[in-house]
Amino acid sequence: MFTNFSPTEIVFFLVSLLIAMIIHEVMHGVTAYWLGDTTAADMGRLTLNPFKHIDGLTTILLPLLLVLFGLPPIFAAKPVPFNPAKVKFGEYGAALVGAAGPITNFLLALIGSIILHIIGGGASVEVYNFFIIFIEVNVALMVFNLIPIPPLDGSRVLYAIAPEPVQEVMAKIESMGFLVMIGFIFIIFQFIATPFANMEISVVNFLLSI
């Protein structure tokens, strides 16, 4: 990924990623707060301070490890905590909290697209490149997080509508914690990387065309 980027574009990528991840996580907490759970607020996570959201393992070490293995780097911020038992509407409330992150990334990508359309041909190459990268980063985070595998956001949505036997399996998977993500990234994701990329390209093209 970075091999095709200029130094300036790498900076644009990292800035876009930081903005996208932080607002994504904050909106999880804000949505939970609106639904009655103050866990994130009580822990000081409803903030745009990047140091509250950067995780040494998933934000720094994991992407570096993936690059060393020749794989696309996948970044993740420190998840904003929430208590599903405290939100309104039970499982559906928890699904709304989960969906808030990907929806936020789509809206950020949409805003970037609108700004790009407004400035049009008057934008410098650097400004144009920044917004293209900003849009692509947010769309990638949205699509990736919609994958319904715990602990990704899509799993919260699936859990709310899945039958009880499926919920039990998902709960067992989620209880395995970070090991699930490692296995998913190094094994399963390799088989879905192409459709994932195609979906990302389709959404980016849609946003740039409206």
The single residue of 25, 136, 164, 200 carrying the catalytic annotation is 25
Known catalytic residue at 25: yes
- pLDDT above 70 for 110: yes
**pLDDT tens for each residue of 122-175:** 778 899 999 999 999 999 999 989 988 888 899 999 999 999 889 888 888 888
Q: Look up the pTM and report it.
A: 0.89
- As a residue count, the chain comes to 210
- Cβ contacts of 14 within 8 Å, gap of 6 or more: none
- pLDDT above 60 for 24: yes
What is residue 124's predicted lDDT score, i.e. its pLDDT?
A: 86
Picking from 130, 149, 114, 132, the residue whose alpha carbon sits closest to that of residue 201 is 132
The CB density around residue 32, as the number of other CB atoms within 10 Å, is 30
With pLDDT > 90 as the criterion, what percentage of the chain qualifies? Answer: 45
- pLDDT above 60 for 3: no
What is residue 132's predicted lDDT score, i.e. its pLDDT?
A: 93
- pLDDT above 70 for 1: no
Picking from 185, 203, 177, 31, the residue whose alpha carbon sits closest to that of residue 110 is 203
- Look at 131 and 1; give whichever has higher pLDDT: 131
- Look at 65 and 200; give whichever has higher pLDDT: 200
